[in-house]
Amino acid sequence: MMSGVPRKAGCFPYGYPGAVCYIEVSGAGGLRQIQGRGEIRDAVVRAERGESRIYAAWPGQYRTDLFFIDDLPALKAAASLKSRVSS
């Protein structure tokens, strides 16, 4: 089940480090798991540039839900990152 938590809800449990698995999908369809602060930072930069999208698999007790991460500032804050986007 793919779900979305509206940005204004402010309730997605980004959980760094933790049980949330982050996945990056490139514009060309490439898929990779994001691990660690450095990879999260790099993936956020690419997502801010529109080169990729970030998803999170949030495991529950009986199922795992997939979320599109549209609130990149919240992900950066959860991972204690600062934006490094250059135009």
- Distance, CA of 29 to CA of 26 (rounded, Å): 5
What pLDDT digit, counting tens, does each position of 33-56 carry?
998 888 988 999 999 999 999 999
What pLDDT digit, counting tens, does each position of 15-34 carry?
645 678 899 999 999 999 99
Residue 42 located in a structural domain? yes
15 near 40, Cβ under 8 Å? no
Residue 61 located in a structural domain? yes
Residue 1 located in a structural domain? no
54 near 21, Cβ under 8 Å? no
pTM over 0.85: no
If DSSP codes are grouped into helix, strand and coil, which group holds residue 75? Answer: helix
State how many domains the chain has: 1
- Identity at 40, one-letter amino acid code: I
- Show the domain range for 42: 36-81
Mean pLDDT of the chain: 79
Order of strands, edge to edge, in the sheet holding 2-3?
A: 2-3, 64-68, 52-59, 21-26, 31-34
User: What average pLDDT does range 77-85 have in this prediction?
Assistant: 63
